[in-house]
Amino acid sequence: MTFAAMLVTGCCSEECAHGPKPLQIDNALTAEEKAAGKFTPEIMWKMSRIGQQALSPDGSKLIYTLTQYNMAENRGITLLWLRDMATGQERAITDYASTNTSPQWLDNDNVAFMSNRSGSMQVWAQNVASGAATQLSDVEDGVEGFGIAGNHAFYLQRVKVAKLKGSDQYADMDKSKVRLYDDLMVRHWDYWDDGTYLHVFAADYVDGKIQNGKDIIGADKAYDAPLAPYFDAAEIRLSPDGSLLAYTCKPLTGTEYALSTDSDIFLYDFATGATRNLTKEAANDEERFVGYDKYPVFSPDGRKIAFRSQRRPGNEADQQRLWVYDLDTNECRYITRGQDYCVTEVAWDGNDAIYFVLPWRGTHQVARIDLAGNMKHITSGNHDINSFAFASGRIVANMNTISKAVELYDVNLESGELTQLTDVNREVYDNIKFGQVQERWITTTDGKKMLTWVILPPDFDPTKKYPTLLYCQGGPQSTVSQFWSYRWNFQLMAAEGYVIVAPNRRGCPSFGQEWTDQISGDYSGQNIKDYLAAIDEVSKEPWVDTDKRGCVGASYGGYSTYYLAGVHEGRFKAFIAHCGIFNFESMYGHTEELFFVTNDYGGAYWDKDNATAMRSYANSPHKKVANWDTPIMIITGEKDYRIPYSQSLEAFTAARVQGIDARLVSFENEAHQVFQPQNSVVWNREFFGWLNKYLK
């Protein structure tokens, strides 16, 4: 059986009383696609996508998730695959009548996971040798995450806490469609607050069954754990023996919640039923733990908890520091003190050292640090290690590059050598051409060196001239790394014959905290100069057609596009802005996580005595719109509440009233990004249609 063609079934796109609806998957490349050798959006959606991975305790077996899509049905399915690490043999271990996610080994032969095979999402276990499967949970309405250790478990479920609907408050008005609020936040990311919140339930695990659990957040608490809006179950961990449960929660509500990132690490004791706030207990005059404290991880002996902490409340891009709390001594130690890098994806190596993912100069690597703070780079090279599984002295890394989607790699912990294990998209790489990726260090206007990726078209000919795109990264504090994106894919752009210039301008992490911080309060300043330095430097190449340059970006990159449209001095012939910030004043009132705009703008627009804030608002893109003179496409999602679609409507109106060629592409069922298969293909067709119209 190949990865490209198989019969599977997945959950219905709508609820179905008759259970999952069959879904055919046949994603083999056609003869025409092979002959053309060109990467297209349609081929990209045929690719299999590796997600999570987990090693058995003895390191002999690997479970990973694999998701595939049916374009005609506009939906996909996620399967579990098993790899024997000694023989390399692989096979699907779940049947094709359900979606299965979140694998966790119970022992060396049995794996637990979430599955919708019984209708709602429940926890199941399967013996990987015999295939025998058992349903472990039977929680009404299903679960949204779980963990099992020893005789205890946890699961995640939504709880109705507040009455925010008219029908909640007026029983005789059950058809009322009104929402009622007295405080912030009324909506988050892509949903309106309906009074339900994700809570952690602590449960016994008896005779192979997860019992009905206890809501340890509190049935009357309007808090989410794990944190909204991403609800990452990795923010919750059981101790190895199952006696303790550590979890992340932000116990704030209303306006205070909207303005702060102050989350804490809590510890629940199954024996006593007591809960401690570890980070607030550890607080002192030097370290108050008032920013994000997240992702607790127990040491193998269960006596220490590693976690990531950010110092500044309201700054989600602050340095992610590694701390370790000793449960025996109640001592909390700052392990990465004095270091200027971030720590992500933590796993203990014994009880005295930790492996982690290190964002490093536009890449992501595996590193190791002991509790004395001695750090060692394990891997190197131009790639992104997104996450890894660790067991019995072995690491399997989830890794991609700009030119290759995620595959799994065995990591030699001495040499850092990476050995590819999976090859789920071999047919694509064997038949489709990709462009070369260049690493360049460009001198900025203030004399700094800036990493810029330059992606060339396939079959690049240096004697020819090519249309060229400046790519503006979102975030604004996110790295232009060796990422592979199914939304903004550099190789798709290169396949259309474009050179892509992708700079790690000011604000992009992995180059030190000062580089990251510089952008806050200065959106229109040095980072805009960084963009122009990058495109101007690469434009010196004889193969750049300076009469056919475009500028594209999403989110903060959309803001950058709007701003550059007013100051580019004729450099660009076309712009595309996706879900970009256009008007700082209306954005402050329209968005939801106010800590973000308060930090990055410097304050609110009515704070007239705040020089940083007033400078930010004075340089809002809408203040430069009278200078617009270039065709612009504006893309938005109508369920985007982070940068609401109204920002895009304002920009589109400004362009058209001034007689500028413009096109509005509005997705009624997408939010800040475009995820659905058919929407994605339409997005790409519109994107390249616009660029090709003005740059070719």
Active site residue 301: no
3-state helix, strand, coil in the chain (%, to 5): 20, 35, 45
Establish if 35 belongs to a structural domain: yes
**102, 137, 555, 560: which is the annotated catalytic residue?**
555
Q: 84: which 2 tokens?
A: 């024997």
Closest CA to 213 of 200, 224, 223: 200
* Domain of residue 129, CATH code: 2.40.128
Mention every residue, 6+ apart, whose C-beta is less than 8 A from residue 40.
33, 492, 495
SS3 68: strand
Q: Is residue 323 part of a domain?
A: no
Integer-rounded Cα radius of gyration of the chain: 25
Final residue of a domain: which of 136, 166, 190? 136
Taking the alpha carbons of 482, 484, 487, 492 in that order, is the dihedral positive or negative?
A: positive
Cα–Cα dist 651/559, whole Å: 10
Domain boundary among 117, 136, 155: 136
Distances (CA, A) of 78 to 72, 88, 117, 606, 631: 17, 21, 12, 49, 41
- Number of C-beta neighbours around residue 679 at 10 A: 16
Q: How far is it, in rounded angstroms, from Cα 295 to Cα 309?
A: 9
672 is catalytic: yes
Tokens of 109: 């032969």
> Which residues is 264 bridged to in the sheet?
249
Whether 367 and 378 have beta carbons less than 8 Å apart is answered as yes
Q: What is the pLDDT of residue 20?
A: 52
Q: Does some domain include residue 580? A: yes
Task: Provide the Cα torsion 86, 92, 93, 99; round to 10°.
Answer: 140
Strand-by-strand arrangement of the 293-298 sheet: 293-298, 304-309, 321-326, 332-334
Distance of CA 304 to the CA centre of its chain: 28
Helix (H/G/I), strand (E/B), else coil: 678:
helix
3-state SS, one letter per residue, for 367-395: EEEECCCCEEECCCCCCEEEEEEEECCEE
Cβ neighbours of residue 646 closer than 8 Å, sequence gap 6 or more: 586, 590
Q: Does 408 reside within a domain?
A: no
Query: H or E segment at 1?
Result: none
Q: Is 649 exposed, middle or buried (0-12, 13-18, 19+ CB in 10 A)?
A: middle
Q: Pick out the chain residues at pLDDT < 70.
A: 1-22
CA–CA distance, 342 with 674 (Å, rounded to integer): 29
Supply the range of the domain harboring residue 7: 1-136
Which of 136, 152, 184 is the last residue in one of the domains? 136
Split into its structural domains, the chain has a count of 2
Residue 611, Cβ neighbours under 10 Å: how many?
12
Cα(580)–Cα(644) distance, integer angstroms: 9
Cis amide linkage into residue 476, ω under 30° from 0:
yes
C-alpha–C-alpha distance, residues 315 and 342, integer Å: 14
Give the 3-state secondary structure of 609-621. CCHHHHHHHHCCH
pLDDT at 95: 77
Task: Give the whole-angstrom CA distance, residue 248 versus residue 53.
Answer: 22
Q: What angle do CA 206, 211, 215 make, to 5 degrees?
A: 135
Nearest in space to 584 (alpha carbons), one of 613, 608, 607: 613
Which CATH number characterizes residue 554's domain? Answer: 3.40.50.1820
Phi-psi region of 119 (alpha: psi -120 to 50; beta: other; left: phi over 0): left
Question: Is residue 386 in some structural domain?
Answer: no
| β-strand pairing of 394-401 with 404-411 | antiparallel
The residue annotated as part of the active site, out of 188, 383, 590, 672, is 672
- Catalytic: which of 560, 640, 648, 680? 640
- Calpha distance 500→502 (Å, rounded): 6
Q: Are 680 and 687 in contact (CB under 8 A)?
A: no
E strand spans, 473-578: 499-503, 544-554, 574-578
Q: What is the pLDDT of residue 406?
A: 98
pLDDT of residue 6: 35
Residue 366 phi/psi, 5° resolution? -90, 135
Count of C-beta atoms within a 10 Å radius of residue 524: 20
* Closest C-alpha to 640, from 189, 187, 184, 185: 189
Q: Is residue 686 part of a domain?
A: yes
In terms of DSSP bridges, do strands 437-443 and 375-377 run parallel, antiparallel, or are they unpaired? unpaired
pLDDT of residue 14: 37
Q: If you write DSSP's letter for every residue of 270-303 in order, what string do you get?
A: TTT--EEEHHHHH--SS----S-EEEEEE-TTSS
